[in-house]
Structure 1
């Protein structure tokens, strides 16, 4: 099992990143929350990881905080929730916000996330309430990421729209979420702003 990777960030194209660890490039999928926290390409990075082994692929997921990984692992144990939906949930809200939704039975907030319908939201509330002990007290180790990262990307809006579609939003919905946002922001910032705006609407 690969539990953590430390190396040079080679590539960052939401939702994918590549980390060079002693000459080996590891491809990981990460939540938008993690991507926003990543430093610029070429910088050193350290991420917690989760490996999923399927018949047709070995998939690696990256997380800035150990608590985020613990919540991801708890989410994928919920009936009907796979890694893609778990990442979409983590992209739309952080651990504290998710915890509040569960404790307050706030299914309405959960249904604003892509791929989460009313039944899934209700299932999350019921099953995750019993799983809090699995991840709530997980230590949040300090991140080794550079907090001053502010990379600029070409075609940031197009990249952000593509990333939102990969999370499960329809193209027209993704375009609407990005409308009105400042286009001179990095791709990750645009995605985060769009998701925040969506959750507050």
Structure 2
């Protein structure tokens, strides 16, 4: 079982990346959020992975953190959710947004993902409602799920703002992540942008 890859980013596509680990290139399927966090070609990167084996296929999935991988594994337990649909959901929603959607039964939020209709979205939130509280993304003691969802939205808006200023998606995402770590989950969009600009330019 391949649990993690640590190497150099060799190539990327719309939903995949090739990670060079000591001269061996691993083709890894990823969400859009993970791809944007990988950095530039030739840079060092780390991916948490999940290996899926079927009768006629072997597919390696990659995630920016173990929390995203946990959500992927949970999503693919739902009937009708394969690896492609799970990655589409993780591309459209942050861990905090996904947890909020499942906890509050908000199928419309899950249906924002490509390839997820209202019926499947409803099944996902119904089946995962009781499991969402213990999942990464919003399970911090004493912090309401809605607050975590707002923090994720502020972070996403800050990344978008930096991209509009001309920063590459990977650079913007990395800078905002650093700002979030420095300021904490309660930081506003304007605070994140201010600190992230310093990190991106530094």
TM-score range, shorter chain: 0.5 to 0.7
Q: How does 1:148-159 map to 2 (within 5 A)?
A: none
| 1:131 Cα deviation after fit | 2.7
In the alignment, the residues of structure 2 paired with residue 17 and residue 107 of structure 1 have an alpha-carbon distance, to the nearest angstrom, of 30
TM-align CA RMSD: 2.5
SS of residue matched to 2:50:
strand
Q: Label 1:48 to 1:105 Cα distance change in 2 as closer, same or farther (>3 A).
A: same
Query: Is the contact made by 1:32 and 1:188 (CA closer than 8 Å) also made in structure 2?
Result: no
In the alignment, the residues of structure 2 paired with residue 28 and residue 107 of structure 1 have an alpha-carbon distance, to the nearest angstrom, of 29
Partner in structure 1 of residue 8 of structure 2: 8
Query: Is the contact made by 1:70 and 1:138 (CA closer than 8 Å) also made in structure 2?
Result: no
Partner in structure 2 of residue 53 of structure 1: 53
SS of residue matched to 1:91:
helix
Partner in structure 2 of residue 41 of structure 1: 41
Query: Is the contact made by 1:67 and 1:138 (CA closer than 8 Å) also made in structure 2?
Result: no
The CA deviation string for residues 114-151 of structure 1, in whole angstroms up to 9 with x for no partner, is 11111111111111113336633899xxxxxxxxxxxx
Partner in structure 1 of residue 77 of structure 2: 77
In the alignment, the residues of structure 1 paired with residue 23 and residue 116 of structure 2 have an alpha-carbon distance, to the nearest angstrom, of 39
Off by >2 Å, runs of 4+ in structure 1:
130-139, 184-189
Which runs of 5 or more structure 1 residues have no equivalent in the other structure? 140-180, 190-201
| 1:81 Cα deviation after fit | 0.5
User: Mean Cα displacement is larger for which, 101-110 or 66-75?
Assistant: 101-110
The CA deviation string for residues 82-139 of structure 1, in whole angstroms up to 9 with x for no partner, is 0000000000011100111112221122222211111111111111113336633899
In the alignment, the residues of structure 1 paired with residue 83 and residue 9 of structure 2 have an alpha-carbon distance, to the nearest angstrom, of 22
Query: Is the contact made by 1:16 and 1:27 (CA closer than 8 Å) also made in structure 2?
Result: yes
Larger RCO, structures 1/2 (Cα 8 Å, 6+ apart): 1
Partner in structure 1 of residue 30 of structure 2: 30
In the alignment, the residues of structure 1 paired with residue 138 and residue 76 of structure 2 have an alpha-carbon distance, to the nearest angstrom, of 17
Partner in structure 1 of residue 187 of structure 2: none
The reply on whether 1:91 has 2:91 as its aligned counterpart is: yes
Q: Label 1:3 to 1:91 Cα distance change in 2 as closer, same or farther (>3 A).
A: same
Partner in structure 1 of residue 197 of structure 2: none
In the alignment, the residues of structure 1 paired with residue 74 and residue 96 of structure 2 have an alpha-carbon distance, to the nearest angstrom, of 15
User: Mean Cα displacement is larger for which, 31-40 or 122-131?
Assistant: 122-131
Query: Is the contact made by 2:10 and 2:18 (CA closer than 8 Å) also made in structure 1?
Result: yes
Query: Is the contact made by 1:66 and 1:138 (CA closer than 8 Å) also made in structure 2?
Result: no
In the alignment, the residues of structure 2 paired with residue 83 and residue 34 of structure 1 have an alpha-carbon distance, to the nearest angstrom, of 15
